[in-house]
Copies of this chain bind each other. A is one copy, B any other.
Amino acid sequence: MSTAGGSLYLIPNTLDFGTAAEANPIDDVLPASVIRTAARLTHWVAENAKTTRAFLKRVDAVVPLARPLQSLAIVELPRPPKGSSTLPAPDLATLLAPALQGHDLGLISEAGLPAVADPGAALVQAAHAAGIKVIALAGPSSLVLALAASGLNGQSFAFVGYLPVDPSARGARIRELEALSRRASQTQLMIETPYRNEALLGALLAHLQPGTRLSVSCGLTLPDGFTRTDSVQGWKSRPIALPNNVPVVFSLLAG
């Protein structure tokens, strides 16, 4: 499959973006092989260049970077044009050029695994098309951590991204996901912009059947992180407030 040239490494980031835990040592949550690989890469494609430099400073505190931070090539992943989920091919070719020239290339998001609930899949797809070897390194993924901690069905599950913001479209989508979950016994996972966590929880409780199980994973891998799973009825009788500044994964399973 792979020809000569560099590989594309998908480098996991921590899940503490924008929180106080960013002060914690990075080797607590990332395997040593990830840190060693990140320390030697000289070419990067990043969701955000500034946060990538912050990440590399944390890497440097554990394994010294092969080259000074200032000398590394860090290129931001362009956003796809509005209404499209794919990037123009010329942009992708430019981003992949270092790998074709023989440099190993890193792809990194602001949090978690690149290309999972995050930009980057178009670049990975273009790498395959160009014969560049793609290597994903293990690290924290809030989706699978939430699924594992939920106790809901881990043998069949779907991640559906964000729900519509419009209340009536959102309600319809929630009922659709519940029906889908019931039909296939499939756990449905979704995420929300943190300041809308409370609104999404309210909508889920308003539209789901009382017996449907709902799991909320809040700030996973963070010191105050927690997962609560209960029936919709249980959530209603023992309500809790969700923080508005921490990522939350919502999962539901209809019986």
Chain B residue with the shortest CB-CB distance to A107: B148
Distance (whole angstroms) from the CB of A179 to the closest CB of chain B: 14
> How many chain copies does the complex carry?
2
Alpha-carbon separation in the docked complex, A230 to B128 (Å): 8
Contact-residue size bin, chain A (C-beta under 8 Å from the other chain): 35 or more
Q: A31 at interface (Cβ–Cβ under 8 A)?
A: yes
A1 and B226 form a contact (CB under 8 A): yes
Q: Decide: A136 near B145, CB < 8 A? Known: A121-B151, A156-B161.
A: yes
Q: A134 at interface (Cβ–Cβ under 8 A)?
A: yes
By a CB distance below 8 angstroms, the chain B residues around A33 are 28-29
- Select A149's contact among B136, B149, B154, B158, beta carbons within 8 Å: B136
Q: A124 at interface (Cβ–Cβ under 8 A)?
A: yes
By a CB distance below 8 angstroms, the chain B residues around A113 are 144-145, 148
Q: A117 at interface (Cβ–Cβ under 8 A)?
A: yes
Alpha-carbon separation in the docked complex, A30 to B138 (Å): 8
By a CB distance below 8 angstroms, the chain B residues around A123 are 151
Question: Residues of A with Cβ closer than 8 Å to B?
Answer: 1-2, 10, 15, 27-33, 85, 113-118, 120-128, 133-141, 143-161, 186, 220-221, 225-230, 240
22 chain-A/chain-B pairs, Cβ below 8 angstroms = A1-B226, A29-B138, A113-B148, A114-B148, A115-B154, A117-B154, A117-B155, A120-B148, A121-B150, A123-B151, A125-B151, A125-B152, A127-B151, A134-B149, A136-B146, A136-B220, A137-B145, A138-B140, A138-B145, A138-B221, A143-B144, A158-B186
